[in-house]
Amino acid sequence: MNWVLTMMVASFGLNMISSMPCLEIPLCHFLFICIGLLMHFVLGIDIGFRRTKKFLRESIIVGTLIGVLDFIIQRFIFYKPRVFATYYSLIWYIFQMWFLIGFAEEIVFRGVIQTELMKTLPQDVKILGLNFKRGTLLAAIIFGLAHTINIFTIANVYFVIGQVISAIIFGLIVGYFYQETGSLIPAIIIHNLANGIASLAYVL
């Protein structure tokens, strides 16, 4: 459990560092991926790197619906124009939103943190008729609170508060998919679709 607590602290620290205005490259996400790969391939720790056909269609539907809802909110309520100096910066932004962020964050928050928390807190909690492990619930709360670091780059504090709340709900959704499948694939699909579609608010 100690290494999980260390990972939780590191995730907050790395997110905070990478959110500083002077650092445009999301260093923490690359480090998350490296840590996940190290744990899986070198230390032999199971963090959900397995194929599954369960819930794939549902994950596409859920990710699309969340992305469309987030697109509407960001486009018509909290819209702030984003300027891309070059095509490279636009392509880099698209890559982050459609691939990098979801992949990296799911490795850490579901693959590493939630996996261990489900072992430590396996008791069920019923929410809206679904059985969630207490570890899944706690991992979702940690995921939401990790977004408080966005206060350093987003001036609208109400947007950040809303982001934390929505991230907890989102963490519950992807956490349930991971809990039921034991695979990161559905969670990554949902995360990347949600981020990618929402990012179109600043691209289109």
Give tens-digit pLDDT for 13-71.
555 544 444 444 577 788 888 888 888 888 788 889 888 989 999 999 999 999 999 99
CA atoms within 13 A on the CB side of 197: 19
* Dist. CA 183–CA 118, nearest whole Å: 14
Q: What is the pLDDT of residues 160-171, one digit of tens each?
A: 888 899 999 999
pLDDT at 21: 43
1 has a pLDDT exceeding 70: no
Q: Count other C-beta atoms under 10 Å from residue 6's C-beta.
A: 10
74 exposure class (CB count in 10 Å sphere: 0-12, 13-18, 19+)? middle
* Calpha distance 202→127 (Å, rounded): 34
Cα–Cα distance for residue pair 56/46, rounded to 1 Å: 20
> By C-alpha distance, which of 102, 113, 111 is closest to 139?
113
Residue pair 114/176 in contact by the 8 Å Cβ criterion: no
Q: What residue segments make up the domains of the chain, in order of their start?
A: 2-202
Q: Which pLDDT does position 8 carry in this prediction?
A: 57
Give per-residue pLDDT as tens, 71-99: 998 888 877 777 788 888 888 889 999 99
b vs e for 156-189, b when ≥16 Cβ sit within 10 Å of the residue's Cβ? Answer: eeebbeebbebbbebbbbbbbbbbebebbbbbbb
pLDDT at 12 over 90: no
Angle among Cα 82, 83, 85 to the nearest 5 degrees reads 150
pTM of the model: 0.86
